[in-house]
Amino acid sequence: MRLLASDLACVRGGRQVFSRLDLAVAAGEALLVLGPNGAGKSSLLRVLAGLVRSTAGQIRFEGGDPELTVGEQAHYLGHQDALKPSLTVAENLAFWISMLGGAGGVSAEAALGPVGLGAIAGLPAGYLSAGQRRRLSIARLIAVKRPIWLLDEPTSALDVSGQAMLTAVMGQHLAGGGLILAATHGPVGLERAKELRLGASR
């Protein structure tokens, strides 16, 4: 499998965020998208996820399901942790499993263990700390299998142990043939990741 983008361009709010951008990420590979604020890191991930339209270029996922869009074969983890505070931790995850078509895969309870939330599965999400909310969002990646992970500042709000957990989860995804694109300002623990640097000159 390979995720390919060629001659990609994006305009937001009347401003050219990036243009003539090419990338290629194969199964088992991670690509770190680096650059200063406003360089287009988040916009690139949102374009790949199908949440923002590109103004030029093509995106292809070779070896994926030809009946599905790239976005339908990708997880997008953004800045906001979309949770319902009145639902429990397990109920929130079960809701996402249902919405994302993960029935028959990993159960909510089984996905909470690797992110360290198994002991509070019955706690309403409204009581979670920012780091726990981020862990719950990461559990969604485990519960519903999708080959492409698009991660926007994935270590946000995570403490040292949470960052180690994320590194382990990402490593398992890559070992299973998955692809990761992560927009980040700092290290995420993926030593052999490729890098794509965006900036004002792109």
So where are the chain's domains? 2-197
Structure tokens at 120: 């509070």
Q: How many CB atoms lie within 10 A of CB 18?
A: 23
Q: Is 174 helix (H, G, I), strand (E, B) or coil?
A: helix
Rounded to whole angstroms, the maximal C-alpha distance in the chain is: 49
Three-state SS annotation for 130-151 = HHHHHHHHHHHHHHCCCCEEEE
Overall fold of domain 2-197: Rossmann fold (3.40.50)
pLDDT confidence of residue 105: 65
Place of tokens 């360290």: 116
Tokens of 192: 């052999």
SS3 assignment, position 175: helix
- Tell me the mean pLDDT per 10 residues along the chain, length 202: 96 89 96 90 95 94 94 92 92 91 75 95 96 95 94 93 95 96 87 86 46
Q: Which pLDDT score, from 0 to 100, does residue 202 have?
A: 43
How many angstroms separate the CA atoms of 14 and 124, rounded?
A: 41
Task: Specify the pLDDT at position 38.
Answer: 84
